């Protein structure tokens, strides 16, 4: 299924994007370390956000299919930029918090789903992705 997103450059290193199916909007700004004001998500922040929300979503799908409750699961992602050979996302460190009450089998299934999410599978070899699971 194809989805169309339209983006417009607003000037001053800011863009607005519209998700056509829903009409939902997001706005971006260049980060301070790349001549922007850093007042909104940067495009690379959105890539990091996409990883975190994708992981939570695919785990949610796996949990729902099996009747497991993971509501309240959280993800924290730290993004580090690199400059060689050019500016890129060098490292994403993702920490996922899941309920401590999950059985060992559930943990295995959910961790596998997380590591195989579409966003993680789409990142190139120049981006290191480290994932940690905490059961709280």
Residues with Cβ < 8 Å from 49, sequence gap 6 or more?
Answer: 41, 77
According to the model, what pLDDT value does residue 47 have? 97
According to the model, what pLDDT value does residue 1 have? 86
**Across-strand partners of 132?**
95
Q: Which two tokens mark 78?
A: 């730290």
Q: What is the pLDDT of residues 2-46, one digit of tens each?
A: 999 999 999 999 999 999 999 999 999 999 999 999 999 999 999
Residues with Cβ < 8 Å from 118, sequence gap 6 or more?
Answer: 54, 58
- Taking the C-alpha atoms of residue 76 and residue 3, their distance in angstroms, rounded to an integer, is 27
Peptide bond into 85 cis (omega under 30): yes
The predicted model scores a pTM of: 0.94
Q: Which two tokens mark 101?
A: 């009450």
According to the model, what pLDDT value does residue 35 have? 95
According to the model, what pLDDT value does residue 103 have? 97
Q: What CATH code would you report for 43-135?
A: 3.30.300.20
Q: Could you tell me how far CA 107 lies from the centroid of its own chain?
A: 20
Q: What is the pLDDT of residues 107-126, one digit of tens each?
A: 999 999 999 999 999 999 99
| Domains in the chain: boundaries | 5-34, 43-135
If DSSP codes are grouped into helix, strand and coil, which group holds residue 13? Answer: coil
Q: What is the pLDDT of residues 40-98, one digit of tens each?
A: 999 999 999 999 999 999 999 999 999 999 999 999 999 999 999 999 999 999 999 99
């Amino acid at each position: 299924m194809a989805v169309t997103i339209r983006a417009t450059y607003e000037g001053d290193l800011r863009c607005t994007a519209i998700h056509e199916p829903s009409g939902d909007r997001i706005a971006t700004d260049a980060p301070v370390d790349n001549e922007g004001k850093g007042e909104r998500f940067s495009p690379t922040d959105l890539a990091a956000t996409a990883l975190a929300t994708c992981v939570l979503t695919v785990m949610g799908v796996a949990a729902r299919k099996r009747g497991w409750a993971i509501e309240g699961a959280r993800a924290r992602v730290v993004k580090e930029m690199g400059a060689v050979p050019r500016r890129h996302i060098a490292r994403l460190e993702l920490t996922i918090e899941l309920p401590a009450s999950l059985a060992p089998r559930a943990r295995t299934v959910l961790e596998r789903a997380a590591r195989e999410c579409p966003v993680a599978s789409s990142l190139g070899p120049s981006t290191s992705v480290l994932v940690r699971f905490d059961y709280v």
